[in-house]
Amino acid sequence: MASASASASLESATRGAKSSAALEFLKSSPKKLLINGKWVPSKSGKTFETLNPANEQVLALVAEGDKADVDEAVKYARKAYEDAKWANLSPHARTGLLLKIADLIEQHADELAELETLDNGKPLFESRNIDIPGAAETFRYYAGFATKIYGETNPSDPSMFNYTLREPVGVCGQIIPWNFPLLMASWKIAPALACGNVVILKPAEQTPLTAIRLGELICEAGLPEGVVQIVTGFGPGAGSSIAEHPDIDKVAFTGSTEVGKLILQASAGNLKRVSLELGGKSPNIIFPDADMPAAVFGSSLGIFLNQGQVCCAGSRVFVQESVYDQFTDSLSKMASGLTLGNPLDPNTRMGPLVSKEQHDRVKGYLKAGKEEGAKAKTGGEPGKQEAGYFIQPTVFTGVNNQMKIAREEIFGPVASAIPFKDEADVVFQSNDTTYGLAAGVWTKDINRALTIARKLKAGTVWINTYSVLDPISPFGGYKQSGFGRELGKYAIDLYTQIKSVYARIG
Ligand code: NAI
Ligand code: MG
């Protein structure tokens, strides 16, 4: 009886899903933790629910890992690391296994895209075209690095031979958010493994499903046991136990600036290496000489992609005074034309926010914006759907850079459009923020674009485009957007340490 009602409720939670593999995966609930190559329940036996944010129904129960489970995961990860099951594998073999993971992600792309959309709410259009291919591409890119991590020989005194080795850091704890669940798992796991580390990944409690499925694919690819652990659970509990653990060598975190500070404090116990990719309030600057249709489209993508739940979202849209009304009209028209609805529908361009908590937070900012005197030129309200955490794509005009909606990360589909006078004014206002993750500038004057790109205090600057990310290029923050650079060859610095060896000759 229980199972008949469970399958009826799963059917309604997944309405619109087509992938039979995704449905099969969801049927085997509760989901377990991956420790030492085996799927095990949490030691406490506790589980938590993960919901479909489009209809607020339960998709699956998931093991709630806690300190005891993290201890267990660290024990086996340490053993795998010290036994050098992974680091001492030939780099070519490591490349082969990482390529196999990439292939498996691609082979299961339809299933993974539906799982991602069910768990997170992002349009299938995005998960199928951005998240899942991006995850495969990241594994493929770092697969190539396993054979290209070089040391150096150094011009020492002739009586010495001095060289450096680039060695793995060891046991890496990786804590990721819910906005790009599989993609963030890939950004973390792929470079760490390429460098010979072992990992313990904690997915966000809102979106654990694709990380669990990735764990299964990693086992299928044939990685040695203990190299990858997946411990699902909450921030305080599983996450904090990773940050504090005395036998974890490095922690990599993506999420809020507030929790980033806690991670840094917790790392002091054993002086873990820390890399942090945190929040943003990125400026996106529109000059009157920009290609306007391209700027409108790019700015819309910059703030509305993934319902605005993007750390590098162009959430402060700075528009030069002479084109402010024209530009914000066009951006509002584009926003109101985005189809809001069931994210499994291939025509949907905006789904629900990830959770009730996020929905409440964004509604709070819509209210704050209006109270401070900004005007919602379009949107400004929750969606009209019967259930689910929908918010209408919103463009606020009449915003100044001191308002709460211009200073705090909203993490929702809300653009704050701010007028500016000239180059000096917009550079000052753009940099007048505690964050520094990304920035955009739209102009046909290439000298102006390059000059401003130098002046902006941000880890990524886009010129006449926005939201472009490629594993070849570094990503990370200035100021309180964090430190350390993921992606590109820079991630190799995060996941290796350098040993200098002196040998006396003769
Ligand atoms: P969060 O920072 O609390 O969550 C991110 C991850 O950290 C999750 O895996 C969570 O379980 C874990 N975590 C939470 N508390 C922890 C602790 N004390 N120790 C160790 N791990 C912990 O973010 P949340 O609450 O989901 O979202 C709040 C705001 O954070 C958003 O509105 C947004 O402004 C920002 N955010 C930024 C992200 C980014 O990509 N930079 C991603 C997610 C959220
Ligand atoms: Mg969920």
- pLDDT, mean of residues 182-202: 98
251 lines ligand 1 (CB under 6 A): no
pLDDT of residue 391: 98
Ligand 2 centre distance from Cα of residue 494 (Å): 30
The whole-number pLDDT of residue 3 equals 59
Per-residue pLDDT at 506 exceeds 90: no
492 shares a domain with 374:
no
Name the domain count of the chain.
2
State both tokens at 420.
């500016």
Which atom of ligand 1 approaches the CA of 310 most closely? Answer: 40
- The whole-number pLDDT of residue 1 equals 39
First to last CA, the chain: 81
Closest of 286, 334, 290 to residue 314, by C-alpha: 286
The answer to whether residue 503 sits within a structural domain is no
Residue 19 lies in a domain: no
Same domain, 288 and 272: no
Helix-, strand-, coil-residue percentages of the chain, each rounded to 5: 45, 20, 35
pLDDT digits (tens, 9 = 90+) for 17-73: 999 999 999 999 999 999 999 999 999 999 999 999 999 999 999 999 999 999 999
Q: What is the pLDDT of residues 214-238, one digit of tens each?
A: 999 999 999 999 999 999 999 999 9
Check if 411 has its Cβ closer than 6 Å to any atom of ligand 1.
yes
Is there a single domain that holds both residue 274 and residue 291? Answer: no
Average pLDDT, the chain: 97
Per residue in 124-152, pLDDT tens?
999 999 999 999 999 999 999 999 999 99
Ligand 1 atom closest to Cα of 202? 9
Cα separation of 295 and 112, whole Å?
Answer: 32
Residue 85: pLDDT band (50, 70, 90) is confident
Look at residue 2 in the predicted model and tell me its pLDDT.
47
445-501 pLDDT tens trace: 999 999 999 999 999 999 999 999 999 999 999 999 999 999 999 999 999 999 999
Task: Indicate whether 379 and 406 sit together in one domain.
Answer: yes
Domain span holding position 377: 283-470
Question: What are the backbone angles phi and psi of residue 229, rounded to the nearest 5°?
Answer: -110, 140
Question: 48 CB under 6 A from ligand 1?
Answer: no
Whether 406 and 308 map to the same domain: the answer is: yes
Band of the pLDDT at 8, cuts 50, 70, 90?
A: confident
204 shares its domain with 295: no
Q: Whole-angstrom Cα distance, residue 256 to residue 203?
A: 14
d(CA 239, CA 246): 14
pLDDT at 5 over 80: no
CATH number of the domain at 188, please: 3.40.605.10
d(CA 256, CA 262): 10
